Amino acid sequence: MVRIELQKVGKRYGRLRVFRDVAAEVRSGQVLVIAGRNGSGKSTLLRIVAGLARPTTGQVLFYQEEHLLDAEERRRLAGLVAVDVSLYGELTAWENLSFFARVRGLRLAPEEAERLLAEVGLAGRGEDLVQTYSSGMRQRLKYACTLLHHPPFLLLDEPGSNLDEAGRTLVERIIAHQRTIGLVVLATNEPREVAYGDIILRLEEGK
């Protein structure tokens, strides 16, 4: 059992208040959707959840079996797919997977890499340089790299970004599987993606 608690989280940039007093809880088997218009702070809040930005007020707590996780444990157990997460264009897909596996202390066998690529719709493209990939293919590869370690905490920013209908169906399968091993927090303003949520957290600009 895992869960995330957002406790009165707020963010300001100088005199600009992005949001304040955001509170929510999501547990294993659930999807928390952060929704709102552009500029409402969806991606900022997700970055705070991911530990990539600090809240001005409040805190985000991660638990596994009621054990409060420290920063290192959070990084080890979480996976993030976001528009601003970079891949290495001068490397092949296999080399990107191998690199991100080593970062997490994993050994990735060639057959496992091929299986991951096939699962995200990139079968047979492992030896191609990522710089030759379309934006949709890069998004699929981000999922493969993120899911390497089967993270119980899956964080998604605009999960269907640059994906065609087949890619969006892939995201739905990933989310459905994630419910069986952990939880999902995703940020979006797409109605189809909002509908994935068990818990909908709607942000309004400045509130």
Q: Going from the N-terminus, what domains does the chain have, and what CATH number goes with each?
A: 2-203 (3.40.50.300)
* Residue 205, pLDDT above cutoff 90: no
Average pLDDT, the chain: 95
Burial 167-183 (b: 16+ CB within 10 A, else e): beebbeebbeebbeebb
Which is nearest to 171 in space by CA: 6, 31, 43? 31
Q: How confident is the model at residue 39 (pLDDT cuts 50, 70, 90)?
A: confident
Task: Please give the average per-residue pLDDT across 87-94, as a whole number.
Answer: 96
* Residue 15, pLDDT above cutoff 60: yes
What CA–CA distance (Å, rounded) separates 13 from 188?
22
Asked whether the beta carbons of 143 and 154 are under 8 A apart, the reply is no
**19-23: Cβ within 8 A, 24+ apart:** 19/44, 19/45, 19/203, 19/206, 19/207, 20/57, 20/207, 21/57, 21/58, 22/58, 22/201, 22/203
Report the predicted TM-score, pTM, of the whole model to 2 decimal places.
0.95
Helix (H/G/I), strand (E/B), else coil: 182: coil
Asked whether the beta carbons of 24 and 6 are under 8 A apart, the reply is yes
Longest dimension (CA), the chain: 53
| pLDDT computed for residue 85 by the predictor | 85
* Residue 49, pLDDT above cutoff 80: yes
Task: Please give the average per-residue pLDDT across 16-25, as a whole number.
Answer: 95
Task: Please give the average per-residue pLDDT across 26-54, as a whole number.
Answer: 95
Q: How confident is the model at residue 207 (pLDDT cuts 50, 70, 90)?
A: low
* Residue 21, pLDDT above cutoff 60: yes
Q: 16-27 and 78-81 as β-strands: parallel, antiparallel, unpaired? A: unpaired
